[in-house]
């Protein structure tokens, strides 16, 4: 690392190398270890400002504020199981309705199709029991007779 780059980094990030970009720290440390006078002087200047920055105090949290914030956690109920999974359930609902629609469609079509299909029970959708097949076929047969 050049002393110029060292100066730029100290100017931005201050005197503590742990605050510097991680990729630059090794090079910076090597320059310091070499005893580079310019780098050492730069670091000294940066440290002066760091100390002033550190002198700035912010008010500590009062016990009343802590109590109020802790209490707000109980006032804000965590989402319930149902609420947390509402998205999932609503998606599942859509899929369920879709499947029901398909099943209903298959059922309706199955009543209409036998007119054009062979009079075999194999032509019926698999949702019918074999025992139902005879009943359904007989209904269709009666309708075609008329």
Site for other proteins, rule CB under 8 A: 8-9, 11-14, 19, 21-22, 46, 49, 52-53, 55-61, 65-66, 68-70, 72-73, 76, 78-79, 84
CB 3, CB 31: distance < 8 Å: yes
- Indicate the residue among 2 and 8 with the shorter CB distance to other proteins: 8
Question: Least separation, in Å, of the C-beta of 53 and other proteins?
Answer: 6
Q: Where are the alpha helices (DSSP H) in the chain?
A: 3-13, 22-33, 37-54, 63-75, 81-84, 86-112, 130-145
Residue with tokens 């000294």: 44
Question: Least separation, in Å, of the C-beta of 123 and other proteins?
Answer: 50
Question: Least separation, in Å, of the C-beta of 75 and other proteins?
Answer: 8
Which tokens hold the place of 22?
Answer: 């991680």
> Alpha-carbon distance 25 to 13, whole Å?
12
Residue with tokens 């730069």: 42
- Indicate the residue among 73 and 115 with the shorter CB distance to other proteins: 73
Q: What is the DSSP letter of 1?
A: -
Question: Least separation, in Å, of the C-beta of 4 and other proteins?
Answer: 13
- Indicate the residue among 21 and 125 with the shorter CB distance to other proteins: 21
């Amino acid at each position: 690392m050049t002393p110029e780059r060292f100066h730029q980094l100290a100017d931005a990030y201050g005197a503590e190398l742990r605050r510097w970009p991680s990729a630059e720290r090794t090079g910076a440390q090597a320059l310091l270890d070499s005893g580079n006078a310019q780098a050492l002087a730069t670091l000294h200047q940066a440290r002066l400002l760091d100390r002033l920055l550190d002198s700035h105090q912010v008010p500590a949290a009062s016990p009343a504020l802590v109590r109020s914030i802790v209490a707000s956690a109980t006032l804000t109920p965590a989402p319930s199981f149902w609420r947390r999974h509402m998205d999932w359930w609503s998606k599942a609902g859509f899929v369920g309705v879709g499947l029901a629609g398909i099943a209903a469609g298959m059922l309706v079509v199955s009543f209409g199709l036998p007119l054009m299909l062979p009079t075999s029970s194999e032509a019926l959708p698999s949702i019918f029991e074999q025992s139902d097949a005879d009943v359904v076929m007989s209904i269709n047969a009666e309708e075609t007779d008329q």
